[in-house]
Structure 1
């Protein structure tokens, strides 16, 4: 028998597109959520039909960002650092869950 395909809910598909919109590379999204590249790119392509889907993150710089003040730039830098810290904490928690899950299966 062949492998059956996974069926994903519309909410899950929307979530994948939203994560892509935050600027996260599609390859990372696929690894993190366990979906294939072709599935994720198909869902994204439905929302962005004219954009070329690539493994690079989708980050669009607005005109307002180009002319931002020093305070806004400082705030952006602070938020980027905080985002990096949160992402690191998230990875640590994922690893801890994996370790504890293995212990419970024994």
Structure 2
């Protein structure tokens, strides 16, 4: 396996499917596909845990993580706006 190799969602699903349907061990399937055993094991775990939401891709987040990121960003903007208003109030309240 080449370092930094990326695999698409379809390949990952098919690899996991082979583990479940071929009668071969994860190790044998990994060797047959030319991928690391740990990689295939991680894919199996991810698919089992996340089902259809597994393998979102590089740079893409699960919906919950994306929502959390959006809310944190919004919270940062609101804090900045609040701080600006506090400073403005301080400036304009002094004679």
Normalising by structure 1, report the TM-score: 0.41
Normalising by structure 2, report the TM-score: 0.45
Give the structure with the higher percent helix: 2
Greater CA radius of gyration, 1 or 2?
A: 2
